[in-house]
């Protein structure tokens, strides 16, 4: 078993730049989310990630269930046990059907309907498959979901790619 490599920043020992980010995290999230213990070693990066992360956490265009589909699928794509375990629970709690959660965890494209939730699931699958889709499929996402949702899904997948890779690189084990 690999030792947890995460090196947390002690707020009492933090630099002024780190304290600014910690304060913003406290305002926006009420805590220091685990990945920030990686990013705070580079305060300028952490400041940018705080803006993105707080936005993703409170998405104005995705429901919690839609966000959780994107997060869980990204964690599974990057094989990040820590993020998978955390967001499997969050996905179920947010109302993602268990069959959809199980399909994602088993690396299968979920069987979903043609409603908005189904299109979000399909779009996330397409993004993680390399985002090379035909014009008709893109037009369907654009007409039903809109460009704001497409942009939000791209940022959510990108942000949670960084988290998934970071948690794995730092050998974090899933919480029980």
Task: Place 103 in a pLDDT band, splitting at 50, 70 and 90.
Answer: very high
* 41-74 confidence digits (pLDDT tens): 999 999 999 999 989 988 999 999 999 999 999 9
Query: What pTM did the predictor assign?
Result: 0.92
Phi and psi at residue 107, in whole multiples of 5°? Answer: 60, 40
Question: Would you state the pLDDT for residue 176?
Answer: 64
- Which pLDDT score, from 0 to 100, does residue 31 have? 83
């Amino acid at each position: 078993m690999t030792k947890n490599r995460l090196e947390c920043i002690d707020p009492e020992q933090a630099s002024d730049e780190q304290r600014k980010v910690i304060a913003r995290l406290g305002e926006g999230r009420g805590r220091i989310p685990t990945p920030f213990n990686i990013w705070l070693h580079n305060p300028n990066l952490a400041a940018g990630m705080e803006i993105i992360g707080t936005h993703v956490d409170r998405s104005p265009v995705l429901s919690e269930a839609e966000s959780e589909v994107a997060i869980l699928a990204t964690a599974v794509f990057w094989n990040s046990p820590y993020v998978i375990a955390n967001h499997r629970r969050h996905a179920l709690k947010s109302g993602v059907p268990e069959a959809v959660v199980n399909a994602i965890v088993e690396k299968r494209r979920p069987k979903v309907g043609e409603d908005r939730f189904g299109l979000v699931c399909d779009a996330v699958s397409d993004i993680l498959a390399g985002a090379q889709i035909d014009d008709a499929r893109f037009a369907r996402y654009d007409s039903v979901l809109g460009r704001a949702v497409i942009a939000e899904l791209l940022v959510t997948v990108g942000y949670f790619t960084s988290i998934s890779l970071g948690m794995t690189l730092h050998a974090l084990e899933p919480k029980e």
